Amino acid sequence: MGRSLDEILDLCLDEMKRGASVEQCLSLYPEHAATLEPLLRVGKDISELPRVEPRKEAINVALLDLGAAIASETRKRSRYGKLFLGSVLVHPSLVRAVGFALVLIVLIWGLGSLSARSVPGDLLYPLKLTRERVRYVLTRSPEGRAELHMVFAELRLGELAEIGEERGTLDESLLRTLLVESMLALDEANAADEQWFRIFAAKLNGFIASVASDANV
C-alpha cells in the first residue's frame, strides 16, 4: 500500500535534515511534487534559522487572510428533543446519568478554554489538541475540514513563534505538524467544488508564503 502524503512529507523532512536538497526529495515523489515543494521550502527556510523569531505582525496578517473557520452546528428537530426529554423524565437513572455527563462536558470544555493558550510541554496542551480533534470529527463537509486544517496550521505557527521567543529553539516536531496540517488542508479542499477550491488554494498559498517570508526576516 502506498504511503500517505503526511508520511511522505515526514520522510522528506528527515532526508533534508540529513543533507538532501528539496529537488532531490521531489524527484523521489514526482506525483506529489506540486503539493510538496512549497511545504518543503518553508521547512528548509525555517530549519536553517539560528533562532525562531517570527514577527507578530506577519502572523496577524496571516490570520486576517485566513479568516474565521466556523464549524456549522446541526440542529435536531424539536420533536426529537421532546421524545428524548420524555424518556429521560420517565427514568430517574437516566436523569442522573445525563446530569453527570453534562457536568463532565462543562468541566472538560471549561478546562479546554484555559488550554487555548497552551504550547507543547504545558500540562493542558494535550487537552487543546483533543478539542481540535473533536471539532474536526464533528465537521462533515470537505470545505469545513479544509478550513479547520488551515486554522490548526495557524495555531501551530503561533505556538512555534511563542516557543522560539521564549526558548530560542526550533521545535521541529511542531514545524512538521504545521506543514502536515497545511497539506491536509489542500487534500480536503480537493473534494470541494472548483470555484471554492481555487479561492481556498489562493488563501492557503498566502498563508504558506507568509510563513516563508516570516522565516526569512
Q: Domain locations in the chain? A: 73-138
pLDDT tens, position by position, 82-130: 444 454 444 455 445 545 555 555 555 555 555 677 788 877 788 788 8
What is the rounded distance in angstroms from the CA atom of residue 214 to the CA atom of residue 56?
9
pLDDT-derived band at 151 (thresholds 50, 70, 90) equals very high
Average pLDDT over residues 181-194: 87
What is the rounded distance in angstroms from the CA atom of residue 115 to the CA atom of residue 128?
5
pLDDT-derived band at 81 (thresholds 50, 70, 90) equals very low
What is the rounded distance in angstroms from the CA atom of residue 37 to the CA atom of residue 204?
14
Average pLDDT over residues 53-64: 43
- Which three three-digit cell numbers place residue 47? 530549519
Terminal C-alpha separation, the chain: 41
pLDDT value for 48: 59
Average pLDDT over residues 30-48: 76
What is the rounded distance in angstroms from the CA atom of residue 132 to the CA atom of residue 166?
24
- In contact, 178 and 147? CB cutoff 8 Å: no
Q: Is 113 helix (H, G, I), strand (E, B) or coil?
A: helix
Residue 19 has, within 13 A of its CA and on its CB side, a CA count of 0
Identity of the amino acid at 25: C
- In contact, 155 and 117? CB cutoff 8 Å: no
Whether the predicted pLDDT of 56 surpasses 60 = no
- Which three three-digit cell numbers place residue 69? 473557520
- Which three three-digit cell numbers place residue 92? 430517574
What is the rounded distance in angstroms from the CA atom of residue 203 to the CA atom of residue 91?
52
For 91-141, where are the alpha helices, taking DSSP H only? 92-115, 125-138
Angle between helices 172-189 and 142-167 (to 10 degrees): 160
Residue 146 has a CB neighbour count (10 Å cut-off) of: 27
What is the rounded distance in angstroms from the CA atom of residue 80 to the CA atom of residue 103?
23
Residues in the chain: 217
- In contact, 39 and 211? CB cutoff 8 Å: no
Average pLDDT over residues 39-45: 74
- In contact, 16 and 40? CB cutoff 8 Å: yes
